[in-house]
Amino acid sequence: MNFPNRETVEKLRSTYPVGCRVVLDHMDDPYVNIPVGAQATVTGVDDAGNVMCVWDCGSSLSLAYGADQAHKVGTEDEAKVTLNWYGQHQPEKDFRCPRCGEMMWGPKARHALSRYAAITVCDRCGMEEALEKAGQVEAKSLMKWCAIVLPSIGGGTWRR
Ligand SMILES: [Zn+2]
C-alpha cells in the first residue's frame, strides 16, 4: 500500500474541496459497478489520500489513492449533469444563486427556473438567460457558474 505524505494529502484537499463534483475515469476494482462517467460529490479527503465520495447512483465508495482515477467536472455536458443534481438538492428557501452566487432570499418558488438545467436561479440570472436565449447577449458557459467554480455554493452549504 502506498501512503501519501501530508503535503500530498493537503494538495488533494485543495484540489477536491468538499462539495466539488467529480467524474469517474477508472476504478481499480472488478467488483465495483460504478460506470465510467458517473458523477459524485466529494465529502472529504482522508489522511490516506482517499477522496471520499457520494456517487449519484447511491454508492459511497471512496476513490482509492494511487489506484482510482477521476477528474473534476470539465465540460459543458458534465456541468449540466452536475447542475441538474444540485437542482435536486437546493434548499427550500434563502440560498445562493448557483449561477451568480448572490443570495436569493425567500422561498425557492419565488425565483426563476434556469433555461439550461433543472435548477433555480435568481431573477437577474433568469432575465440574463432569457436575453441569451433570444440571442441578445453571449451565453455564459455553464463552467463559469458559481456552483461549478465554487462548489460550496453548489453541493456544499449553499449559504454564506
Ligand atoms: Zn444569479
Give the pLDDT confidence of 52-97 residue by residue, as tens digits.
999 999 999 999 999 999 999 999 999 999 999 999 989 999 999 9
- Cα distances (angstroms) measured from residue 69 to each of 46, 50, 111, 113: 16, 11, 38, 34
Distance from C-alpha of 114 to C-alpha of 46, rounded to nearest angstrom: 35
Please tell me the pTM assigned to this model: 0.89
How close is the Cα of 141 to the center of ligand 1, in Å?
14
Cβ-proximal residues to 143 (8 Å cutoff; 6+ apart), any chain: 73, 74, 75, 76, 79, 149
> To which H or E segment does residue 14 belong?
helix 6-15
Cβ-proximal residues to 123 (8 Å cutoff; 6+ apart), any chain: 111, 112
Q: In the chain, what percentage of residues exceed pLDDT 90?
A: 84
How close is the Cα of 128 to the center of ligand 1, in Å?
9
| DSSP tag of 142 | G
How close is the Cα of 74 to the center of ligand 1, in Å?
21
Domains, the chain, with CATH or none: 6-72 (2.30.30.40), 76-153 (no CATH)
CA-nearest of 101, 83, 120 to 158 is: 101
Give the pLDDT confidence of 99-122 residue by residue, as tens digits.
999 999 999 999 999 999 999 999
Average pLDDT over the chain, rounded to an integer? 92
Give the model's pLDDT for residue 1. 59
How close is the Cα of 136 to the center of ligand 1, in Å?
18
Distance from C-alpha of 140 to C-alpha of 86, rounded to nearest angstrom: 18
Cβ-proximal residues to 44 (8 Å cutoff; 6+ apart), any chain: 13, 18, 52
How close is the Cα of 125 to the center of ligand 1, in Å?
4
